[in-house]
Structure 1
Amino acid sequence: MIDTSSFYAPFLAQKAIDVTAFIGTWPTRYQSRATAADLSAMADRLQLEAMCVSHIASIHGHDTRSGNEALFAESASDDRLLPFVIITPAETNWEAELEWAAASGAKGVRLVPGYHGYDPAGSDAKALYAAVRRLRLPLQIAVRLQDERLQHPRFMAEHLPFHIAAELIVMLEGHPLLLSGFREHEWEQVKRMLPQGACLEHVCCDLWFCNGPLAVISKLCARGEAERFAYGSCTPIQSAEATALQLAAAAIGEADRALLCRGNAGRYLSTGE
């Protein structure tokens, strides 16, 4: 058997932080599943310092509480698993759910509006954003969670419109915001919709849907975007090794690699404190 560990060496050396990971089973692809033990094994294999983890049951279940309870119970086995609860303003008791999650030790809040069917720019969503800001919890909003070509035809989900992403960046100025699931060129479209002088200091995107030619990451860095992206695997919905190998093989400087693998993620997590 060929030892491929050397291929990942530049990535392993960074002790990366994975900003997008999940426990549970994706309902339309039964082999896309992970337990807390699986994530711990992956953290060992890829030498990860931490993973921001949510439970898939909070996306597809009848409520978010069941998945969030399972998230806290399962992530307690490994300090590297940082619980990011999933909340939706479509639930009438979301305020109590958010307060309970914060008191239970949530390290952040992850929203999936395309799966929960609410208007991400509506009044209920804005009230949720304001509550998250008051609690000083980092906020992550999923643009998408899987390639649209893999979506089950009876379980379609809408991706976050780019103009709404731009609106949220302005609305949440100064608060740590991570937008998950952009293609590399889509982020450029969002930036064109921002007002001149918009502050991006607290905004990050993850890299799991920027997969493709190895030159994608080097192109990002060449455009001065090394401070805007962070390693996120979207495991087990996606393969974690794809983005890790892309970061390892990219023809970029080590300072930029450090920002993409852990520096930007560390800033995102710390600015909510």
Structure 2
Amino acid sequence: MMELSLIGIGTGNPDHLTLQAIRAMNDADVILLPRKGEAKSDLLDLRRGICDAVLTRPVRVVEFDLPTRDAQGDYLGAVNAWHDAIADVWREQIALHLPEGGRLALLVWGDPSLYDSTLRITERLQRGGLEIDLRVVPGITSIQALTAAHRIPLNRLARPVTIMTGRLLRDHGWPENADTMVVMLDPACAFEELADQDIRIWWGAYLGMPNEALVSGPLAEAGPVIAQLKPRLRRENGWVMDVYLLRRGPA
């Protein structure tokens, strides 16, 4: 039996780890760290730094190359093929490092339940016949880190919140009846499609880190600032992870 812990690690700051996450990391026999290419080597370094900061006993920390997703063609088809490829790599790493079973841990940005696919990839392993005792350790999400950094509530009183991706915002626009919207996974600036509307934005990148960047204000004013800032941050750091909250009407 393989015990697999999917551990939410927040946005890269070791202070974001819960005590449960630290215990789960120290209980592991092996922690797998994905390599995502030279351009995102800092992400691997952040995971290594977290391990160095919280591991109090010898735990094998193993790096592996993460397959890349085909950016062409059908989006859902490409994502499913990518998840299949990642599941194959996980299976290979398990066979190599824990052939007799044991305790494996994977470190997940934010929380495993929110716009992350480690749970779906784990299902592929289970459907393939691998016996897994799955444990999920929740983590601080980028949404929580964003609202904390800007010192704002997530929702208006008695009003709902919509969570979506930049791709969905770009393709479909503002959802009907939405009041507050959180947008994740937006490599471009999908909010530019809404710049002529009465909307405020609260944006953040590298949340909780020393190089944290924050911008807020009316979208018509703050949007161009963010659009100019993101490419510079990507050049300086090799990657950028950001999230933003949009709200209709006055603050």
TM-score normalised over the length of structure 1: 0.29
TM-score normalised over the length of structure 2: 0.31
Indicate the structure (1 or 2) with the bigger Cα radius of gyration: 2
Which has more strand, going by share of residues?
A: 2
